[in-house]
Amino acid sequence: MKILLNNRKETIESETITVNELLTLKNFTWKMLVIKINGTVIKRHEYDSLQIKEGDDVAVIHLITGG
């Protein structure tokens, strides 16, 4: 399936994928993250259950100390 990941087109091998599986697949290993799917923030407890679908717009933002 094709999704939009951080504004970039990505092709995922499987038909569906959970948020956690996507994080592992794309090597997002940071602790502090905000994940948006189609504009909605995904709550941490949903990472294992929520399925990303064809055409979804996924944004993964790493939060880093410094300001």
Partner 1 sequence: MNRFFLQIYILYISTIFLTTFLLYKMELTYPEKVRRYLSKCTVGIAGCGGLGSNCAISLARAGVGKLIIADFDIVTVENLERQYYFHDQVNKLKVLALRDNILRIDPSITVKPFDLKLCSSDVIELFAGCDVIVEAFDKAEMKQMIIEAVINHLPGKPLVCGIGLAGFGKTDLLKVIRTGNLIVCGDQMSEVTETNPLTAPRVGIVANMEANEVIEILMSKFKTWNENIA
Binding range to partner 1, per CB under 8 A, among 11-19, 21-29, 34-42, 45-53: 34-42
For residue 27, the 8-state DSSP code is T
Piece of 9-17, 19-27, 38-46, 48-56 that binds partner 1 (CB under 8 A): 38-46
21: which residues sit within 8 A by CB, 6+ positions away?
A: none
| Cβ–Cβ < 8 Å for 16, 55 | no
**Alpha-carbon gap, residue 53 to 4, rounded angstroms:** 10
Is 57 among the residues that bind partner 1 (CB under 8 A)?
yes
**Is residue 66 a contact residue for partner 1 (CB under 8 A)?**
yes
Q: Of the listed pieces 9-17, 18-26, 35-43, 48-56, which binds partner 1 according to CB under 8 A?
A: 35-43
